[in-house]
Chains A and B, each alone.
Chain A
Amino acid sequence: MSTRGESTRELRSALSELRLVVRQVGYEQLSFWLNPVGAIFTVGFSLLFLVMLGASAGSSRISYMHNIRLVQYYVPGFIAYGVMSASFNNLAISLVIRRETGLLKRLRLSPLPTWTLLTSILLSTLLIAFAQVVLMLAVGRWAFGVQLPSGASDIVALVVVLALGGLSFAALGSAMSTLIPNQQAAGPLTSTVFFVLLFLSGLWFPLKSGSTLAKISTFFPIRHFITAVLTAFEHPGDSAWAGHDLLIVVIWGAVGAAIALRRFQWAPQHT
């Protein structure tokens, strides 16, 4: 009897916390979209990139990659970019701003459970990444005639890769935020790290295997993530899963999560 009463109560409190998460995600989104200029540029930047590069060079073919059209590479490439910029770049900057303006501290002092708050921030970040993915899939399909993953297994692969990649880069973004001393440094520092790594990972062109850049890029997670997304799109005959690449991304994510959890600060640092 009492155990059933207890488990009902636990279930009810779990449900009410879940409702809190949904509600909080709603307010996160509201707050994001009520700043339309910020929102449009955040969501539209990756799309703008894709459209510009796709329109200018998209139809040349890549000899060292099954001779596919370049835009066939750009769509998965910029989908990966969009997910990374939302979950690494934007999350890191937004966490620093929230920390330094006292918003994190204030929420920490409210009865909103910590896990609820952090989960909501994470989910909201992934939602914004997801919006970009959908936009780029649509533009890739309708404007550039790119072949999208169609079979059920390819779609599952794409969704899982994007979700795991989003979570891993969000963990890295949170870790990054703990290394940034103040609000003014947040944008420049994060963007510098991000774009240097993007360059080293050859976002703008597929890397030739054996080149120096290709060797450097194997160390960082970005190249592996792009490869994992690309594989869900382009895999003549083979599996849609780039398991090895995905594993490396997730390992980086785990390292990021460990750093973030160790170093996370709620109060402004003002340094």
Chain B
Amino acid sequence: MPAVIVRGLVKSYGPLRAVDRVSFEVDAGEVFALLGPNGAGKTTTIEILEGFRNRDAGEVRVLGIDPGDRGSGRRLRSQLGVVLQELAVEPFLSVRQVLERNAGYYPAPRRVGEVIELIGLAEKADAKVKTLSGGQQRRLDVGLGIVGNPALLFLDEPTTGLDPAGRRTSWELVRRLAGEGTTVILTTHYMEEAEALADQVAIIASGKIVAHGPPASLGGRDRGAATIRFQLPDDVTPADLPLAVDGDGRSVELRTDRELEALYELTKWALEHEVRVTGLTVSRYTLEDVYLQLTGADADRFQSDPALKAPIRG
């Protein structure tokens, strides 16, 4: 059974549809990333899954429980770990005290010492929270998310505002938790983060999921839409080529979803006719291209390209 099932989720704030018929599933043990720009509806979506917000429509199951059902709230929350987008830690308690306090809320918590190790705050264990740097407080925040030994961990933009080293540490932690079998749902607006951590990525923009799949094939970028570029010598024109290409003069390119065949024809022709083709490259969309085009201003053009239609799962 999937850890999370979301079908046709809708949430409006007044006239604004912040979440618009969102559907996805997250399998147990999977790392799932909700990737999208600010205001896309990521936080709203996961706060509904956490049972913090009510939904307007749609079906949601989290660990088999409907988070909208108040009666099962405590049973659900004792299996969830939550790290909010915004830092929230008591200033005057020490790291250990805060973790010990929260550990007592859960039926089967992790050992506090182990959590302190995991978040790399061993030296700061007895320091007051307010004396920690922003990055250290963020790590404590993550520690509070995992101290209950959750089956499902929500991380809302866990690395926003961290320096590169802090981000690496957080990534390691997520990988380690995932390795232990924790299901993780994280939101981010960093493509690299989704690519580095997630088994499944859903790109969300203006409340709608516009692409969904494993990061390697997101937006169909593993299929088709490869671009082959090369330069021709002066005495050869594009018209002499065995393939239709774009470009005038020496620099040409061609878009194809059958790059192997195209390369074979091109190189065969070049060798047979002893044409010196130079600067040959094959490239395809990076996740960043996909992301920017799906969420950015030229989203319409991109989505109308059938070669790039996103495979929507679920």
Residues of A within 8 A of B (CB): 20, 23-24, 27, 30-32, 34-35, 101-103, 105-106, 108-113, 266-268
Q: How far is the CA of A102 from the CA of B87 in the complex (A)?
A: 7
Contacts A27-B97, A30-B97, A105-B52 given; indicate if A112 touches B90 (C-beta within 8 A).
no
Neighbour of A31 across the interface among B52, B90, B107, CB < 8 A: B90
Neighbour of A27 across the interface among B50, B87, B93, CB < 8 A: B93
- Nearest Cβ on chain B to A38's Cβ, whole angstroms: 8
Do B80 and A109 touch across chains, with their CB atoms under 8 A apart?
A: yes
Residues of B within 8 A of A (CB): 50-52, 74, 77-78, 80, 82, 84, 86-93, 97, 101-102, 104-107, 128, 144, 148
Secondary structure type dominating chain B contacts? loop
Q: How far is the CA of A34 from the CA of B51 in the complex (A)?
A: 33
Residues on the B chain within 8 Å of A24, using CB: 101
Do B86 and A268 touch across chains, with their CB atoms under 8 A apart?
A: yes
Residues on the B chain within 8 Å of A266, using CB: 52
Do B106 and A111 touch across chains, with their CB atoms under 8 A apart?
A: yes
Do A35 and B92 touch across chains, with their CB atoms under 8 A apart?
A: yes
Residues on the B chain within 8 Å of A110, using CB: 77, 82, 102, 105-106, 148
Do A109 and B74 touch across chains, with their CB atoms under 8 A apart?
A: no
Neighbour of A34 across the interface among B86, B106, B128, CB < 8 A: B128
Residues on the A chain within 8 Å of B86, using CB: 102, 268
Do A30 and B93 touch across chains, with their CB atoms under 8 A apart?
A: yes
Can you list 27 A-B contacts with CB-CB less than 8 angstroms, sorted by A residue number? A20-B104, A24-B101, A27-B93, A30-B93, A30-B97, A31-B92, A31-B93, A34-B128, A35-B92, A101-B88, A102-B84, A102-B87, A102-B88, A103-B89, A103-B90, A105-B52, A106-B82, A106-B88, A109-B52, A109-B77, A110-B106, A110-B148, A111-B77, A111-B78, A111-B105, A111-B106, A267-B52
Do A106 and B84 touch across chains, with their CB atoms under 8 A apart?
A: yes
Residues on the A chain within 8 Å of B84, using CB: 102, 105-106, 109
